[in-house]
Structure 1
Amino acid sequence: MTLDFSAAQHLSHELFAALKPTEALFVEIASESSQFIRFNRARVRQIGTVEDTVVTLRLQSQQRTASTSFPYTGTADLAAALDHLAQLRSETVQLPLDPYLVPPTDTGSIQDTYLGRLPDPEAVVETILTPVQGLDFVGIYSGGTIARGSFNSAGQEHWFATETFCLDYSLFTAAGKAVKNSYASTHWDTVIYQAQIEGDRQQLARLEQPPRQLAAGRYRTYFAPAAVAELVGMLSWGAVSEAAYRQGGSALAKLREGATLSPLFSLQEDFTTGTVPRFNADGDIAPPCLSLIDRGKLQTLLISRRTAQEYNLVANGANRQETLRSPLLLPGTLPEQEVLAALDTGLYVGNLHYLNWSDRPNGRMTGMTRYACFWVEQGKIVAPITDLRFDDSLYEFWGDNLEALTDTPVWVANTDTYERRSLGGMTVPGMLVKAFNFTL
């Protein structure tokens, strides 16, 4: 089981009691109880559960800081935790001074627990595989409870726990073409899942047609939510960060200087969904909703307390990396069922990958189309396409070329499982762009 609040609180209090008068300590908890199932050819390849808790200690002393992480199973590991604290104490004296050290503060504590409705662990295999019989179905299911805690020696005690699941999968044709999709939420709904699989079947059938090779150029393009999520995710890499702007590396610098995007484009950090904690590793609390771009106009960048100290600013609860944690791209008015008719003739892009900045100061991104992408004529899918590389500026595809956003946003979960299950994701609609630049 995951470590609960009382056990985490007990651990942190024992560690705080061992501090010297000149020391301060942050205690971070990452805990989970998860079921994992890997599928191959619509059969179970691997199944099991993970019970894991990792504790991170960050000791501050004489304007220096050092940190360490270790697994923790309960009170039996308390002596080991105290040993780790002693080791940090010996390390800090050898480190240089940190001029922008963020000390612990107590501005209030929050405890949030969100209960979900996950598939029955005993029946989840049948629930997932029944709708995909006869298909080459490959994927991974992960579901269970995830908890995060942040305690500090100033008295702050944050706790967050949530129940979520994510089914990340692909359906393959005999020729190796694939439809990629995911179903993630806090509440499983078999009707929604079965409808999604049916839509995937239809796309899979279209992938059986001979692909069409398109010349480089600008095409009218619809981006499905999974593709939009890739574009929005790039903003965490040197765009929405105040530190990046101050250091001359923000892709949104032109917005600070007076440029605007389309009035259709509004981006927020939204922590009301219960999939990611509002607090960060330093214990700072973000507002439930934070407007970053409102109808094309920049409202604020993400400002961590460390950046605020360095540049004499006011922090807004951002994490130390100043990355998006729970972004929401506000929807538009285009009904999902009218997407192909609105596109008329152009590209339907289901997924993107290999994204990077090609010219960050000018907001230019590059990347590739992937999986189910199609050529559309007069509102009907004609053929799949061979992969294309794109290179275009967010000041164009989220600027004058943004024609419409769909009216139903989709939560695209963070599917990373490096070291542990990741929290959060992003909520985005699909988008229709008048002209998007494909280079080869």
Structure 2
Amino acid sequence: MTLDFSAAQHLIHELFAALKPTEALFVEIASESSQFIRFNRARVRQIGMVEDTVITLRLQSHQRTASSSFPYSGAVDLAAALDFLTQLRSETEQLPVDPYLVPPTDTGSIQETYMGRLPDPDSVVETILRPVQDLDFVGIYSGGTIARGSFNSAGQAHWFATETFCLDYSLFTTTGKAVKNSYAGTHWDSATYQAQIEGDRQQLAQLEQPPRQLAPGRYRTYFAPAAVAELVGMLSWGAVSEAAYRQGGSALAKLREGATLSPLFSLQEDFTGGTVPRFNADGDIAPPRLALIERGKLQTFLISRRTAQEYKLVANGANRQETLRSPLVLPGTLPEREALAALDTGLYVGNLHYLNWSDRPGGRITGMTRYACFWVEKGKIVAPIADLRFDDSLYEFWGSHLEALTDTPVWIANTDTYERRSLGGITVPGMLVKAFQFTL
């Protein structure tokens, strides 16, 4: 089981009681109870449960700070937790003063629990494999409860728990080409999953056609939600951060200086879906929705409490890295079923990878097409394409070249499982761009 709020409170009370008058303490808790299943050739290759809780202590003393993390399995680990606190005391004495250290405050606490409807753990294998038994199906399913806690010695006590699932998978042709997709959320719906697999089957059959070789140039392009999510994810790499802007490294700096994107493009942090907590490791609470770009115009960058301290600003609940945690690109009016017809002739891009900034001040992103990408003529897929490299500016594909966004946003879950299951994801519609630059 995940660590619950009452058990966490007991541990926190003992740690705070051990503090000296000159000390302040932050305590972060990451806990999960997850089922993992690995599939290969539509068969189970590995299955198991993970019960895991990690606690991170961050001690402040005399304008210095040190932190340490350790696994926690119950009350028997309280003595170990107090030992870690003693070690941190010793470390802080040897560290330099941090001029922008912000002490803990109590501005109110929140406790939020979101219940989902996950597949029955005893029948989830059959539920997943029934529609793909005749296919070369490879993937990983993860599902269960994830909890996060953030406490400080000023009295703040945040708790968040959610039930989510994610099936991240690929379907392969006999020649090794693949359609990659994912199905994730808080409420499993077998009809939705079945319909998604049927769409994947159609693309899989189209991948059997000889690939079309395309010359470098600008092409009319439709980006499926998974590809749009990759582009939006790049904004966490030095674009939406106030600190990055102040230090001269923001890809969106031109928006602060008066440039605009298309009025079709609006970006928010949206925490109302219940997949990621509104509080951060410092205990700051973000609003349920925070508009970053509204109808092409910059509203705000993400501002952490440290950045606010350094530049005398007001923080808006951002994490220390000032990265997107629950981004939402607002949908448009193009019906999803009419996307290929609206594209008419051009490229359908299902996935992207290897993204990086090629010119961050200019907002230019480079990367590669991947998996199911096709050449389309008169609204019909006619052939897969050989992989292409692209290099284009967000001031164009989200600016003057953005033609339409679909009316159905899709949640693309964060599938990372380094150390633990990740929270959150990116919610985006499909995107039609009138001219997108492919370079190789």
TM-score between both structures, scaled by the size of structure 1: 1.00
Residue of structure 1 equivalent to 2:199:
199
Q: Does 1:256 align with 2:256?
A: yes
Provide the rounded CA distance (Å) in 1 between the counterparts of 2:336 and 2:109: 41
What percent identity do the matched residue pairs reach? 90
Residue of structure 2 equivalent to 1:151:
151
Provide the rounded CA distance (Å) in 1 between the counterparts of 2:102 and 2:324: 20
Please show how residues 359-398 of structure 1 align to structure 2 within 5 Å: 359-398=359-398
Provide the rounded CA distance (Å) in 2 between the counterparts of 1:8 and 1:226: 37
Residue of structure 2 equivalent to 1:318:
318
Counterpart residue type for residue 329 of structure 1: V
Residue of structure 2 equivalent to 1:40:
40
Helix, strand or coil at the partner of 2:120: coil
CA deviation digits over 1:93-149, x for unaligned, max 9?
Answer: 000000000210000000000000000000000000000011000000000000000
Residue of structure 2 equivalent to 1:107:
107
Provide the rounded CA distance (Å) in 2 between the counterparts of 1:12 and 1:62: 22
For the Cα contact (< 8 Å) 1:351–1:371, is it kept in 2?
yes
Helix, strand or coil at the partner of 1:154: coil
Provide the rounded CA distance (Å) in 2 between the counterparts of 1:100 and 1:199: 52
Residue of structure 1 equivalent to 2:177:
177
CA deviation digits over 1:289-343, x for unaligned, max 9?
Answer: 0000000000000000000000000000000000000000000000011011000
Counterpart residue type for residue 315 of structure 2: A
Residue of structure 2 equivalent to 1:401:
401
Provide the rounded CA distance (Å) in 2 between the counterparts of 1:60 and 1:224: 46
Q: Does 1:281 align with 2:281?
A: yes
Provide the rounded CA distance (Å) in 2 between the counterparts of 1:138 and 1:71: 32
Provide the rounded CA distance (Å) in 2 between the counterparts of 1:64 and 1:250: 29
Please show how residues 38-437 of structure 1 align to structure 2 within 5 Å: 38-437=38-437
For the Cα contact (< 8 Å) 1:29–1:150, is it kept in 2?
yes
Tell me the CA shift for residue 168 of structure 1.
0.1
Provide the rounded CA distance (Å) in 2 between the counterparts of 1:382 and 1:241: 42
Runs of 4+ in 1 over 6 A off after TM superposition: none
For the Cα contact (< 8 Å) 1:256–1:298, is it kept in 2?
yes
Residue of structure 1 equivalent to 2:8:
8
CA deviation digits over 1:221-260, x for unaligned, max 9?
Answer: 0000000000000000000000000000000000000000
TM-score between both structures, scaled by the size of structure 2: 1.00
Provide the rounded CA distance (Å) in 2 between the counterparts of 1:370 and 1:89: 50
Helix, strand or coil at the partner of 1:361: coil
Counterpart residue type for residue 166 of structure 2: C
Provide the rounded CA distance (Å) in 2 between the counterparts of 1:263 and 1:74: 53
Provide the rounded CA distance (Å) in 1 between the counterparts of 2:236 and 2:10: 35
Tell me the CA shift for residue 381 of structure 1.
0.4
For the Cα contact (< 8 Å) 1:24–1:153, is it kept in 2?
yes
Provide the rounded CA distance (Å) in 2 between the counterparts of 1:337 and 1:6: 48
Provide the rounded CA distance (Å) in 2 between the counterparts of 1:75 and 1:231: 44
Residue of structure 2 equivalent to 1:31:
31
For the Cα contact (< 8 Å) 1:102–1:282, is it kept in 2?
no
Tell me the CA shift for residue 351 of structure 1.
0.2
CA deviation digits over 1:65-113, x for unaligned, max 9?
Answer: 0000000001110000000000000110000000000210000000000
Provide the rounded CA distance (Å) in 2 between the counterparts of 1:48 and 1:125: 12
RMSD over equivalenced CA pairs, Å: 0.3
Counterpart residue type for residue 137 of structure 1: F
Provide the rounded CA distance (Å) in 2 between the counterparts of 1:437 and 1:187: 38
Provide the rounded CA distance (Å) in 2 between the counterparts of 1:262 and 1:201: 35
Tell me the CA shift for residue 269 of structure 1.
0.3
Helix, strand or coil at the partner of 1:362: coil
Provide the rounded CA distance (Å) in 2 between the counterparts of 1:16 and 1:339: 57
Provide the rounded CA distance (Å) in 1 between the counterparts of 2:161 and 2:328: 21
Helix, strand or coil at the partner of 1:99: coil
CA deviation digits over 1:391-412, x for unaligned, max 9?
Answer: 0000000001000000000000
Aligned residues: 440
**Unaligned 5+ residue runs, structure 2?**
none
